[in-house]
Amino acid sequence: MRRVYFDNNATTPVLPEVFEAMQPYFGEHYGNASSIHHHGQETRSAVERARESIAALLGCRASEIVFTSGGTEADNLAIFGTVKDGVGRPLFPAIQPKPHIVTSTIEHHAVLNTCRHLEEQGCEVTYVPVDGRGIIDPADVKRALRPNTKLISVMFANNETGVLQPVAEIGKIAAEADVYFHTDAVQAAGKIPIRVDEIGCDLLTISGHKLHGPQGVGALYVRKGTELAPQMYGGRHERSRRAGTENVPGIVGLGAAAEAALAGFERKEDLKIAELRDRLEAELLRIEACSVNGASQSPHPKIAEGAILRLGHPRGSYPARVPNTTNIRFDGIDGEALVIALDLKGLAVSTGAACSSGAIEPSHVLLAMGLTPEQARASIRFSLGKQNTAEDVEFAAGLVREMVARLRELSPVWGKTATSCKP
């Protein structure tokens, strides 16, 4: 059966060149990167080469990169590390005044649940809202600042809608207020060019498996001079910022993925993916009663502009979302049923919904954008990757059209209560 994978925001296939780069570090080169002998030196230099490659992707110094086990750990390290006193030292309420964090309602759970945990410990957290397009207003971030604000954590690109946030403006606000700024760039890295100095962030998270690298490895950019308390007991790895023997094959893979991402920008692969995504979106929008969740137009100049102008992309020509994502609501449809029906026919997509305690919860991101729970449950995320082709788009569009029609036919309420949301 033909299978098309449009769930690249969940994870991406490892590129052949990434796999090839990693392979020797599972066998031939097995040293512990902390050992001083030949074997250790061999893997140490591979780790340091990877660090250089990631620094090149983000426009920072290699010494500012800390390897982690993935995006979740990097987000945890950034947030706990800047507001907590570190492993073994007293936490709240010992720290006075209690630190305050500004974050948003649409963050990934790696950030949201970390902030909620700190809130339970007495930390103060403000969750700024988004508008109907899924965009945070930097003025809300500024208004939320308090004398005890320690950290702003706002994501670069949302994982469910792909919508880019005005991180460069937020960076300016943070710098003016002398507050640390962390951005979760897990869904932006490798998809759009990133330069940390243009964003003005102090901390930035990336994850290997979202940019055609391996799962279980990530990195945190930590601007030189940022006070970051380590969150694990152990050795002095990663300049005492993250204890634990380095995952050498994973780190080598992340480095190779970063190099492939940079080479991809040079070949304008990001624009090709955007073209495929736009074609898919246009085809799907021909279906009755459906619409895109999230901003569609070119950004007004506020949105992450400085960060995406590299490599000659003309000003304002970039979409308001990362190039690979579209989130579409099919009125009258149960998203889970559609995902399953499409999977049975060979197309992998996802709902943004999370399953907690056996119940399907509508996406917190779509609810924050003002959708009703029913509308959020009727929404599907399509996320493309480097491996996808025009034929994949054609196959997917045809299949979705067929399955949406079939599910609506079966629906006892479609056509009676469901209303078209098409503008």
Q: Which residues, listed in sequence order, are joined to residue 322 by a DSSP beta bridge?
A: none
Q: Residue 147 CB, nearest distance to ligand PLP (Å)? A: 29
Catalytic member of 60, 201, 355, 421: 355
Contact 24, 36 (CB under 8 A): no
Residue type, 51: R
Q: Residue 341 CB, nearest distance to ligand PLP (Å)? A: 24
Give the C-alpha distances (Å, rounded to integers) separating 38 from 23, 41, 76, 253, 258. Answer: 19, 5, 34, 21, 27
Q: Which residues, listed in sequence order, are joined to residue 163 by a DSSP beta bridge?
A: 321
Taking each helix axis from N to C end, the angle separating 248-266 and 269-284, rounded to the nearest 10 degrees, works out to: 80
* Choice between 21 and 111, CB closer to ligand PLP: 111
Tokens of 297: 């137009």
* Choice between 110 and 163, CB closer to ligand PLP: 110
* Choice between 155 and 173, CB closer to ligand PLP: 155
Q: Residue 192 CB, nearest distance to ligand PLP (Å)? A: 14
* Residue nearest to ligand PLP as judged by C-beta position: 71
* Choice between 71 and 332, CB closer to ligand PLP: 71
Tally of CB atoms within 10 A around 62: 14
Q: Residue 42 CB, nearest distance to ligand PLP (Å)? A: 27
* Choice between 218 and 362, CB closer to ligand PLP: 218
Smallest CA-to-CA distance from 155 within 226, 210, 118, 117 is with 210
The secondary structure element, H or E, covering residue 176 is helix 167-177
Q: Which residues bind ligand PLP (CB under 6 A)?
A: 70-72, 75, 108, 110, 155, 159, 184, 186-187, 207, 218
Q: Residue 76 CB, nearest distance to ligand PLP (Å)? A: 9
Smallest CA-to-CA distance from 163 within 307, 368, 322, 329 is with 322
CA distance 143 to 139: 6
Query: Counting every residue, how long is the chain?
Result: 423
Q: Residue 406 CB, nearest distance to ligand PLP (Å)? A: 30
CA distance 97 to 205: 27
Tokens of 275: 């073209």
Residue type, 289: A
Known catalytic membership, residue 355: yes
Q: Cβ neighbours of residue 136 under 8 Å, at least 6 residues apart? A: 104, 106, 128, 129, 130, 154, 165, 166, 170
Q: Which residues, listed in sequence order, are joined to residue 157 by a DSSP beta bridge?
A: 164
CA distance 152 to 379: 29
Quick one: 369 exposed, middle or buried, by C-beta within 10 A (0-12, 13-18, 19+)? buried
Contact 141, 168 (CB under 8 A): no
* Choice between 75 and 281, CB closer to ligand PLP: 75
* Choice between 204 and 393, CB closer to ligand PLP: 204
Contact 115, 103 (CB under 8 A): yes
* Choice between 35 and 69, CB closer to ligand PLP: 69
Smallest CA-to-CA distance from 322 within 13, 54, 8, 73 is with 8
Smallest CA-to-CA distance from 305 within 317, 293, 323 is with 317
Q: Residue 263 CB, nearest distance to ligand PLP (Å)? A: 22
Q: Residue 298 CB, nearest distance to ligand PLP (Å)? A: 23
* Active site residue ranges: 355
